[in-house]
Amino acid sequence: MADGKSILVDVSRCTGCRGCQVACKQWNGLPGTKTKQTGTYQNPPDFSHQTFKVVRFEDGRTKDGKTYWHFFSDMCRHCMNPPCLAGAQGDEMIHDDATGAVVYTEGTSKSDFEMSLSVCPYNIPRQDPDTKVMRKCTMCFDRITSGLTPACVLSCPTGAMVFGERDAMLAEAKRRVDILKKTWPKAQALNADDVRVIFIVTDDPLKYHKYAAGV
């Protein structure tokens, strides 16, 4: 089936501007957390109950000595068959029919958080330590059901992030990968059949993040 929505995240166009990271905070009214400079542009270091979008930075040199800097605008994949739902106790985790968005409600304070986290291939779900509510990207469910684009996608300047009907996004992913392969033979769309948030990378997925292609 090719219904519902998808987001394309094409890292070959990403400049790491972090518009998406901040737009997510702004839309969701999430606080900025206290962080430390540890010798990287990346901050916060990872997801939390207050951070649904993290731009990951990895720099290095290729075997031929060329410098690279990869940016990976990490977020929940909104899986086609979300394994995290295994931690649900009732209806508190919503897997929306129309869009395919996976949304945690306040009721997840009763969910089995450890279960959901352990089965998530991308290490996404987090838990508010006080309320025990589980938190992650909502695919801006409130926005997309009101005819708006997700906040992160709207902010993206270079078209690295695109939002639309799933079949259109799958077609676009294929079109882009075909072009990218000419310059980067390793270019691929990661797990396109299994996820709604489809990342396109030009290098070995592990060069971006441990969980870029899932475990």
Partner 1 sequence: MTNHWIDIQHSDCILIQGSNAAENHPISFKWVMRAKERGAKLIHVDPRFTRTSSKADFYAPLRSGTDIAFLGGMIKYIIDNNKIFHDYVVNYTNAPFLVDGKFGFKDGLFSGYDADKRGYDKSTWTYQKDAGGIILRDETLKNPRCVYQLLKAHYARYDLKKVSSITGTPEKDLKTVYEMFSSTGTKDRAGTVMYALGQTHHTVGVQNIRALAIVQLLLGNIGVCGGGVNALRGEPNVQGSTDHALLYHYLPGYLSAPRASQQTLESYIKKITPATTEAKSVNWQSNYGKYAVSLLKSWYGDAATKDNEFGYAWVPKAEDGKDYSVMTLFDVMYAGKIRGMTVFGQNPACSIPNSNKVRAAFAKLDWMVHLNIFDNETASFWKGPGMDPAKVKTEVFLLPASASVEKAGSQTNSGRWIQWRYEATKAPGDCIYAGEAIIRIQNKLKELYQKEGGTFPDPILNMTSDGLAEKGGYDAEKVAKLINGYFLADVEIGGKQYKKGDCVPSFALLQADGSTSSGNWICAGSFAQDGKNLMQRRGKADPTGLGLYPEWSFAWPVNRRVLYNRASCDPSGKPYNPKRAVLEWKDGKWVGDVPDGAPPPLAAEGGKLPFIMKPDGVSSLFGPGLGDGPFPEHYEPLESPLAKNLMSTQQNNPAILLYNSDKDMVASADARFPIVMTTYSSTEHWCTGAFTRWQTWLTEAMPQAYVEMSEELAKEKGIKNGDKVRVESARGKLECVAMVTPRFRPFLVNGKTLHQVGMPYNYGWRFPEGNGDSANLLTPTVGDANAMTPEYKAFMVNVVKV
Partner 2 sequence: MRRRQFLKMSCVLGAGVALCGLGVDLVPIEAWADEIKKIDRLKTARQTMSVCCYCSVGCGLICATDEKTGKIINIEGDPEHPVSEGSLCAKGAGIFQTTEANEHRLTKVLYRAPNSDKWEEKNWDWAIDRIARLMKEERDKSFITKNAAGQVVNRVETLAHMGSSNLDNEECWSITAWARSLGLVYIDHQARV
Pairing of strands 67-74, 54-61: antiparallel
Q: To which residue do tokens 């708006």 refer?
A: 148
Does the footprint of partner 2 cover residue 91 (CB under 8 A)?
yes
The binder of 44, among partner 1, partner 2, none, by C-beta within 5 to 8 A per type, is: partner 1
Does the footprint of partner 2 cover residue 196 (CB under 8 A)?
no
Q: What is the footprint of partner 2 within residues 104-163 (CB under 8 A)?
A: 105-107, 131, 133, 138, 141-143, 145-146, 149, 151, 154-157
Does the footprint of partner 1 cover residue 186 (CB under 8 A)?
no
3-state secondary structure of 81: coil
Q: Is the CB of residue 62 less than 8 Å from the CB of residue 42? A: no
Applying CB under 8 A, among 4, 6, 18, 196 the residue interacting with partner 2 is 18
Q: For residues 127-148, b (16+ Cβ closer than 10 Å) or e, as one string?
A: bbeeeebbbbbbbbbebbeeee
Applying CB under 8 A, among 4, 19, 125, 150 the residue interacting with partner 1 is 19
Applying CB under 8 A, among 58, 96, 119, 164 the residue interacting with partner 2 is 96
